[in-house]
Amino acid sequence: MTTPPMQSLWLRCETKPFEHRAALTPSTAKALIQAGFKITVERDPQRIFDDEEYEKVGCTLAEHSSWVDAPLDTPIIGLKELPVSTMPLKHTHIQFAHCYKHQGGWREVLMRFYEGKGTLYDLEFLQDENGRRVAAFGYHAGFAGAAVGALSWSKNGKITNLEPYENETAMIAAVKSAIAGVPPKVMVMGALGRCGRGAVDLFKAAGIPDENILKWDMAETAKGGPFEEILDVDVFINCIYLSSKIPPFVTLDQIYAAGPKRRLACIVDVSCDTTNPNNPLPVYTVNTDFREPILLVPTGEGNSPLQVCSIDHLPTLLPREASEQFSRDLLPSLKQLPNRHEARVWKEAEALFREKVAEALAN
């Protein structure tokens, strides 16, 4: 009886500025090695985990951004999208590609895979038998987004150069200190989901009383937006998962019309569907970043500008905790990689990829 070949997996470095998270942590890499995997990890000074942490558990280290020379039968795993390029992609990639919902540049991304005969398993669309994502950063995205919103509100939008926090406790302490005194009134949209629960938990932990936290979900939004109630809170956190076109939650016309009566000071768009044509927050058009996290949107002469945070990788403010939780949840699916042509989670993800490539070819 022949022994099946060892499954290889290559953890690439992240090239997006300020991205400190990792799809594989040393602990999950160790678990995969114990399951018979060969794990290669690119050296990455930006990653929250030191290279030596991976080496100690048995990973092979490779040079930064050397995955292009990896064997073609070795899947490449990462988190954020690859740098913009026209280079055909020949490998199997496991990552968030942000190209299945007609985001900006979606067709170009998919054509790189088509031209290189590569495959994309988009982490956003790895789902269990109930259609729920097997792994998501939603909780920590909401948690961090709520923190940024509270900090921005406390400083009238004058926050810059955000740095990662050592842990949730340190983040909570920073927010508590910033909002000491009169707590803000806040609204979390999508409060029943993972992301929304994270936002609500941060606000509660920071000492905001429950009556100051409006928790909205599908029942509250059934009447369709825009919603005047959003203008009557200090901080609005958008945590919904956008799957189809919906009426906007709030508009610039609505904000202008409110004039000085508007209470709303800060919007944090955790969902960050910035380039999605169906973005339910059509009050901004660009992403912000950790160096300049807040965009100040004019709202009419004599009115205070609207603070908007549209960072698309907020969980990296808690990089170690977020990575450990995500990678731990992804681990059972990764263990099925050697059998990915039969394993449901991978078969469905590949079928969706083929469907999206066909859509790109038709456009």
Does the annotation flag 241 for ligand binding?
yes
Q: Is 140 a catalytic residue?
A: no
Contact 248, 257 (CB under 8 A): no
Does the annotation flag 311 for ligand binding?
yes
Does the annotation flag 194 for ligand binding?
yes
Radius of gyration of the chain (CA): 21
| CA–CA distances in Å: residue 263 to residues 151, 171, 238, 254 | 16, 26, 17, 13
Does the annotation flag 139 for ligand binding?
no
Does the annotation flag 312 for ligand binding?
yes
Does the annotation flag 64 for ligand binding?
no
Find the catalytic residue in 91, 98, 140, 215.
98
- Please confirm whether the linkage preceding 75 is cis (ω < 30° from 0): no
Q: Is 98 a catalytic residue?
A: yes
Nearest to 195 by CA among 130, 234, 241, 249: 241
Does the annotation flag 132 for ligand binding?
yes
Does the annotation flag 291 for ligand binding?
no
Find the catalytic residue in 16, 30, 80, 93.
80
Contact 213, 200 (CB under 8 A): yes
- The secondary element (H helix, E strand) that includes residue 39 is strand 37-42
Residues contacting residue 245 through CB under 8 Å, at least 6 positions apart: 278
Residue whose tokens read 């950790």: 290
Which residue positions form the known binding site?
A: 132, 193-194, 217, 221, 241, 270, 311-314
Active site residues: 80, 98
Which residue positions form the known binding site for NAD(+)?
A: 132, 193-194, 217, 221, 241, 270, 311-314
